[in-house]
Amino acid sequence: MTFHLRLADDNSVAQPALTMPEKDIHKYSRGHALVVSGPVLKTGASRLAARAALAVGAGLVTLVGDRSALQEHAAHVTAIMLKEFDPGHDPLDERVKAVAIGPGAGVTPVTQNNVLRLLQSGIPIVLDADALTVFAENNHILFNILKSFDVMTPHKGEFARLFPDLADEEAIPAALAAARRAGCVVLLKGPHTVIADPSGKWAVNKHASPWLATAGSGDILTGLICGLLAQGVNSFDAAAIAAWLHGDIGVRAGPGLTADAMPEFIPLVLQGCLQED
């Protein structure tokens, strides 16, 4: 499957185009996404991200963590692989194409070490939630190691912790300045989500719904980005496309939407983007 970002004249994200995969495609050519689990009592967020990465088209998704966390995951998932793994020490499988870390990770030295180690892997890393907050007091360490193909997805509070001097700026100039400073793609979540990269490229997603304001919604967005990156979509496009897809889930689902239900809407959203031959 191939995703194509489309922008309107005002740089707002339009419905992306999705083309059918080649007939000889297999799971490894569709990309392997890895999601780092939180500890045993905080596994839900990473599991939501992993489910979204799989539903958006990654050929394989692996949740990694310690044995106690994986035992909890095993009671909830079947199509997602589980592996004992210490991202702070163990080498990544060479077939892994993208990693997501942060949802439910905990604001701890372990999380900080895991992030720094993963950022040296040379593959795109999606940083969300605790993977951002853990650098609030030493953001320069993070900014010095981020690469242009990495993606951070802060909401307003997380953004203010990392970029306190930009917190009161309008969203577009704030995201652009943050992307230049951090050296990576920044997706600044809000009613109109802004995506910016270090080169000055930007887009805004206006296709969304207030029904997305529910616990775990951001974890779904993280998984969507990771799943697209695993399929070879470039980082800016992956973030922008994921923002639109995430918004469309909210538009389609409406009242009563919960994060647990969101992955079930992803096939319907993708079907709406599919281009006929």
Q: State mean pLDDT over 9-15.
A: 98
* Residue 192 annotated as binding site: yes
Please give the pLDDT value at position 243: 99
**How confident is the model at residue 129, as a pLDDT?**
98
Average pLDDT of the segment spanning 90-105: 94
> Does residue 26 surpass a pLDDT of 90?
no
What pLDDT does 98 receive?
Answer: 99
197 is in an annotated binding site: no
pLDDT digit string, tens, across residues 257-271: 999 999 999 999 999
Rg of the chain (C-alpha set): 17
Is 206 annotated as contributing to ligand binding? Answer: no
| Residue 71 vs residues 39, 41, 77, 88: alpha-carbon distances, Å | 11, 11, 10, 21
Write out pLDDT tens, residues 119-159. Answer: 999 999 999 999 999 999 999 999 999 999 999 999 999 99
Tell me: is residue 155 an annotated ligand-binding position: yes
For the stretch 154-187, pLDDT in tens is 999 999 999 999 999 999 999 999 999 999 999 9
| pLDDT above 80: residue 114 | yes
Using 50, 70 and 90 to split pLDDT, how confident is the model at 21? Answer: confident
Is residue 164 part of an annotated ligand binding site? no
pLDDT, averaged across the chain? 97
> 40-97: per-residue pLDDT in tens?
999 999 999 999 999 999 999 999 999 999 999 999 999 999 999 887 778 888 899 9
Where do the domains of the chain lie, and which CATH numbers do they carry? Answer: 27-149+207-268 (3.40.1190.20)
Angle 165-166-169 from CA coordinates, rounded to 5°:
130
The pLDDT assigned to 277 comes to 62
- 256 among the known binding-site residues? no
Q: Determine the average pLDDT of the residues in 11-37.
A: 93
191 is in an annotated binding site: yes
Residue bearing the bigger pLDDT, 235 or 1: 235
Task: Establish whether 190 is an annotated binding residue.
Answer: yes
Q: What pLDDT, in 10s, does the model give residues 187-212?
A: 999 999 999 999 999 999 999 999 99
Per-residue pLDDT for 276 more than 80? no
Is residue 106 annotated as involved in ligand binding? no
* 218 annotated ligand-binding residue: yes
